[in-house]
Structure 1
Amino acid sequence: MKGHFGHLVFIFLFSAQAVAEEQEVIEIAAIDWCPQLCPAHTNPGYITELVEQIYGSTNYHLNIKTYPWSRALSMVRKGEVDAVLSPARAEAPDLMYPHYEVGVQRMCFFTLASNSWEYDGVSSLAGLQFGVASDTSLEELNDYTALNPQQFQFQPYHERYILQQAEKLKKGRIDAFLFTYNSTRYTLQQADQWSGFRSAGCVSNAKVYMAFTPSEGLQAKIRQMMDAFDQGMKQLEREAKPPLIMQRYGLEYWK
């Protein structure tokens, strides 16, 4: 009996090892960008949950690690990781993009609740100072930013970026800062500071993606990863799962 039991244990362990060996790892660089990507929270973020479910029934295993935004982009461009979460196309046009997006970001201006200024096109920006995260796309403001760099204080994005911008507003160092609406409101609410700030208008929305490395030597496997992503996302949409995931974060589905 003992010999039979030992034989079964050996078969089980061998089978588990074989399954593990068949799985291919997708190395993913991500950022701390709650409620989209929340590495230090009980709920990992709706984009993280989407991607995990997309690849959940495949032979891919996801290894997601968190980095500052500029470093994450650099790593995926060099082929040090397979993919990055989650740029808009304008932020990194040189990367490889699947057909389906994983969300939409709305870039908005934020200022003190006591400030009556509102964004109303580029003419409303004259004479003001703005905080901006490095390596982010400002959509229709990209040209204006390039022509008027003296009005923009760029700072690398990291987990304390939003709270640091809020402090700069309080100290009068900037008139407003520009960042994604969901993350800014979420972070300031979590810090019990939202009542002291407000959104002062937004630029256009942009789809965000799980974007892949353009490294030439990796393109065969990257194409397979992208195909698996699109097939998985299509299936999730068919089953109406994305809206349910987003509801857990108090968000509406973007489609």
Structure 2
Amino acid sequence: MLPRSCLVVVRGLLLLLAGCAGTARAETLVIAADLWCPINCQPGAERPGIFVELAREIFAESGITVEYQALNWARTLHEVRRGELNAAIGAGIEDAPDFLFTSTPVAQSRNCFFTRADSTWRFNGVPSLSQQRVGVINDYSYGDELNAYIDQHRHDSARIQVAAGDKALELNLGKLRLGRLDVLLENSWVVQAMLAQQGKAGELREAGCREPDVPIYLAFSPALPSSARYVELFEQGLQRYRADGRLQALLDAYGVGRP
């Protein structure tokens, strides 16, 4: 029989090993995007964004912790594609067609054209953009027709100006206010939320929207074997949350419409 002191040591080692095993079993899923509030807001905020809260709640039901990082969009797509991150928040299929998507989108993105209040211009198809300096964000997808126009003129600052980095939308808003842009192309929820945050709700004029709306998703890495399981879990969660009203309640909490 082992002396009592040895038993204490053995018991301590067993507890330590059990603790390590528990830590090894803990599962964390890392999602990211540039700040696109209310879709995803400041990390650590009480309301970190619709997609962030939804992902955390759905995956928590399977014992999976969701970590959210704010990164610029081009870097997010690059790191998700390489498997350094698990998923990109708010991606459309055109953003990254090689990613893994749920059958059900989380929401629909309505991309609209915003001008200063004194402008009379309205969007009436791509030809109506020819005399406008339009602000867009690097590596965002705005639909095939607009993407083609942006690619054709992205080196002509009299037509297209591309912002990049963690504060790309703020940069475009600032340029619009200063008269360095004529038109800002952006998700309508996102513009409204940022203007409200800045205490400037209603400052800009909506001058038409792209049709149809674009489905947006939590898009998973094509490089990680775990992605197929995550897609299945998230799809099942979306179906439950739509059916029982929890998704609509979350949208209502952020003051936005139906998905």
After TM superposition, is the score higher than 0.5? yes
Structure 1 residues 167 and 66: CA distance shift in structure 2, 3 A: closer
Quote how far apart the aligned CAs of 1:14 are: 8.3
Distance 2:106 2:115 in 1: 28
Is the 8 Å Cα contact of residues 119 and 200 (structure 1) preserved in structure 2? yes
Counterpart selection for 1:23 from 21, 26, 48: 26
Counterpart selection for 2:74 from 67, 70, 77: 70
Letter in 2 for 1:244: A
Distance 2:136 2:71 in 1: 18
Distance 1:32 1:196 in 2: 21
Are 2:118 and 1:114 equivalent residues in the alignment? yes
Distance 1:82 1:206 in 2: 22
Counterpart selection for 2:100 from 96, 101, 112: 96
How many residue pairs align between the two structures?
Answer: 242
Identity of aligned residues (%): 29
- What TM-score results when the alignment is normalised by the length of structure 1? 0.87
Counterpart selection for 2:162 from 142, 154, 159: 154
Counterpart selection for 1:243 from 221, 227, 248: 248
Q: Deviations over 1:67-120 (max 9, x none)?
A: 111111110011111211121111111211121222111111111011011101
Distance 1:59 1:167 in 2: 42
In structure 2, the residue matched to 1:61 is 65
Is the 8 Å Cα contact of residues 95 and 214 (structure 1) preserved in structure 2? yes
Structure 1 residues 43 and 115: CA distance shift in structure 2, 3 A: same
Letter in 1 for 2:189: N
Could you list the runs of 4 or more consecutive aligned residues of structure 1 that deviate by over 6 angstroms after TM superposition? 10-17
| Unpaired segments ≥5 residues, structure 2 | 1-12
| Range moving further from structure 2, 25-34 or 182-191 | 25-34
Quote how far apart the aligned CAs of 1:12 are: 9.8
Structure 1 residues 251 and 195: CA distance shift in structure 2, 3 A: closer
Is the 8 Å Cα contact of residues 100 and 228 (structure 2) preserved in structure 1? no
Distance 1:195 1:228 in 2: 39
Flag the structure with larger Rg: 2
Are 2:183 and 1:176 equivalent residues in the alignment? yes
Report the structure, 1 or 2, having the larger helix content: 1
Are 2:37 and 1:34 equivalent residues in the alignment? yes
Are 2:104 and 1:105 equivalent residues in the alignment? no
CA RMSD of aligned residues (A): 2.3
Counterpart selection for 1:143 from 126, 129, 148: 148
In structure 2, the residue matched to 1:212 is 220
Are 2:48 and 1:44 equivalent residues in the alignment? yes
Aligned residue for 1:201, secondary structure, equals strand
Distance 2:170 2:64 in 1: 36
Is the 8 Å Cα contact of residues 105 and 217 (structure 2) preserved in structure 1? yes
Is the 8 Å Cα contact of residues 33 and 89 (structure 2) preserved in structure 1? yes
Quote how far apart the aligned CAs of 1:145 are: 2.1
In structure 1, the residue matched to 2:258 is 253
Structure 1 residues 12 and 49: CA distance shift in structure 2, 3 A: farther
Q: Deviations over 1:101-152 (max 9, x none)?
A: 2211111111101101110111211222111101111113122223333211
Letter in 1 for 2:171: Q
Q: Deviations over 1:9-42 (max 9, x none)?
A: x999987765544332212223211111112432
- What TM-score results when the alignment is normalised by the length of structure 2? 0.85
